[in-house]
Structure 1
Amino acid sequence: MTDYILSIRPKWVQMIFSGKKTAEIRKSAPRALVSTKAPLRVWVYETKSEGGCGKLVGTFICRRIEWLNAVDFSTRSKPLTDIARESCLTEEQLKAYKGAAGRIFAWSIEDAHRLREPMELNAVFPGRYLPPQSWAKAPAEPAIEGLA
């Protein structure tokens, strides 16, 4: 399974681990997953903004990333209202986030697990000192077993 790291604000981190948020909206996505729909493990990096800890706080499995088309923001399988509900955003917020980007992606969130204790990024992925702006493929397998 391929590992990715997503930087997420504390407000959204809480919603993910409470089970309320089941889709993460981004302006980009790994091309391989969009086309093959292979699952990946996503490491949640809680940003320091809004009082966050600036560390890895958990993981979730992403089994699909769906492209929201620029016309009505639906996907092949879901209308905008479902995507808005799953992402804990309004339809207006989704449209505003898209802006001039032309497209946005809904990353599915399944099997979310919080780590027992937040961990430094470099402790789990040696050599990775800076969190990604949005998301990044992990530089290697996690250095510590049994975290999640």
Structure 2
Amino acid sequence: MKTVLISIKAKWWKLILSGKKSVEIRKTAPAEIEFPFRAVVYVPKTGIVGAFDCEGVTRTNLYDCLAERSCLTVEQISKYGAGGKVCGWLIKKDSPIEFDNPFPVETSGQARPPQSWQYIPNYRANLVSYSFDNENYGCTFENTAEALKDAAADLKSWAPYYQVDGKKIYVGACEFFQPCLSASAYDAVESVICQADDEGFGEWADDYLSDVTKEQYQELEEQLDAVFNAWIEKNGLHAGFYKINSYSEYLFDKAEGEFVTPEIYYSRRANKIFSGKERTE
């Protein structure tokens, strides 16, 4: 699925999350792209906060068809579009999702946020995974809430055979392997020098590339890295493996059928004990 980074004000993002706003108005839209495509949301002065799937784009100057679903008035759309056609990005139902926390715009591979929108590489900075033993992690999820929901469904299938109340899981942020060609410039230059020697240029090649400066090596490294990662992106060769360097613990509340923080779990147990709904040993 293709991905774009789109700048949206906080008030509009809240309406998108609530489901009240199902059309985002823009002057332009991605061309030659398959639907649905993913829109990663950047909120000014906050960061990258979530995403939604765009299932289509309608280009029209019939503003009354867009007004209600975009949470704008016909007059507002007309002023924005200067009387011409605008693009209505159709937000797929139930696709908007909020990340656990805001991420810097640099995690999208961009130095600064777009004024409207721009293409970006596949975005994975928000992904999390869970494990029952803090060793074997599996599927990835958009946020912790999704991971906990899946873990609860998994654990409930054990219920007839195992005691699951108080079962602990670990949820951590996925840090995917990111290829980096730092220091590769030296190898590239050395390879070219060896090539000249292998092809029989002899002493004429003795000083070839011997005066390359530190700044020139750094420039070459940056360009090699950019080209290599563009190749990765174009061919969909992203690493699917990751490591978990930090995690949070959650306990299963069997009565409520959900995973919660240890603080909530033990608070609920204490309340049940004090109310006489649960006996202590």
For the superposition of Structure 1 and Structure 2, which TM-score range results when normalised by the shorter chain?
0.7 to 0.9
5 Å matches for 1:107-146? 107-110=89-92, 111-123=95-107, 125=108, 127-138=109-120, 140-144=121-125, 145=127, 146=141
Number of the residue aligned with 1:41: 38
Gaps of 5+ in 2: 128-140, 144-281
Gaps of 5+ in 1: 75-79
2:74 to 65, 84, 91: 91
Question: Which digits, 9 at most, give the CA deviation of each residue in 1:52-84, with x for residues without a partner?
Answer: x1x01100000101101xxxx23xxxxx43310
Instruction: Rate the CA distance shift 1:28–1:3 in 2: closer, same or farther, 3 A.
Output: same
Distance 2:124 2:16 in 1: 24
Deviation at 1:38, TM superposition (A): 1.8
Bigger helix share: 2
Bigger strand share: 1
Normalising by structure 2, we get a TM-score of 0.43
Count of residues in Structure 1 that have an aligned counterpart in Structure 2: 127
* Structure 2 residue matching 1:31: 3-state secondary structure: coil
Deviation at 1:142, TM superposition (A): 1.9
Deviation at 1:85, TM superposition (A): 0.5
Distance 1:82 1:67 in 2: 11
Distance 2:74 2:106 in 1: 37
Distance 1:90 1:40 in 2: 27
* Structure 2 residue matching 1:108: 3-state secondary structure: strand
Name segments (4+ residues, structure 1) moved above 6 Å.
Answer: none
Normalising by structure 1, we get a TM-score of 0.79
Letter in 2 for 1:95: S
Q: Greater relative contact order (Cα 8 A, min sep 6): structure 1 or 2?
A: 1
Number of the residue aligned with 1:66: 58
* Structure 1 residue matching 2:110: 3-state secondary structure: coil
Indicate the RMSD between aligned Cα atoms, in angstroms: 1.6
**Alignment pair present for 1:106 and 2:103:** no
Deviation at 1:143, TM superposition (A): 4.1
1:57 to 49, 66, 77: 49
2:142 to 132, 140, 147: 147
Distance 1:38 1:117 in 2: 27
Identity of aligned residues (%): 34
Distance 2:124 2:96 in 1: 20
Letter in 1 for 2:17: F
Distance 2:79 2:124 in 1: 39
Number of the residue aligned with 1:2: 2
Distance 1:22 1:82 in 2: 12
- Higher Rg: 2
